[in-house]
Amino acid sequence: MNKLGAALVVLGTLAAAACETPQQRIANKEDMLTAAGFKFLPANTPTRQAALKQLPPNKFSRQIRDGRVFYVYPDPSVCACLYVGDQTAYGTYRANVFQKNLADERAMTANEMSMYSWDWGPWGGYPMGWYY
């Protein structure tokens, strides 16, 4: 695959990621939570639903129970559930998010660097052919 083809693949991937709906972003985050070891608990009773509404939606909350630290992530809109994980699961999640962000940034950098060899000729040249 040539440089232009690779750039188009990266650009397409970034464009698709930018077009995600809020629900898709939350769902992707929840996939990462499950992969990190968080437990999925559905709000399938009126008591659980009421308790879920007391937490800030789609944000981590730190809870201490019997001297142990837990992290909860409530999702009232996509799955109507609660994700619960210990410090290990939360640490794994944070490490995975860091690795994903790093990979996304590397892809963006590769896309930007591929533009150095792009032919500006058809567009009137650069920088003398047109101005902002």
For residue 125, the Cα-to-chain-centroid distance in whole angstroms is 37
Which sequence spans correspond to the domains of the chain?
21-102
Q: How far is CA 51 from CA 1, 45, 46, 55, 95, in A?
A: 53, 10, 9, 7, 29
Contact assessment for residue 83 and residue 70, using Cβ atoms and an 8 Å cutoff: no
Per-residue pLDDT, 10: 46
Q: pTM score, two decimals? A: 0.64
- Residue 5: predicted pLDDT: 45
pLDDT at position 125: 63
Express as a percent the part of the chain with pLDDT over 70.
67
Side chain identity at 88, as an amino acid letter?
A: T
Please check whether residue 63 is in contact with residue 71, taking contact to mean a CB–CB distance below 8 angstroms. Answer: yes
Q: What is the pLDDT of residue 6?
A: 44
Model confidence band, residue 11 (pLDDT cutoffs 50, 70, 90): very low
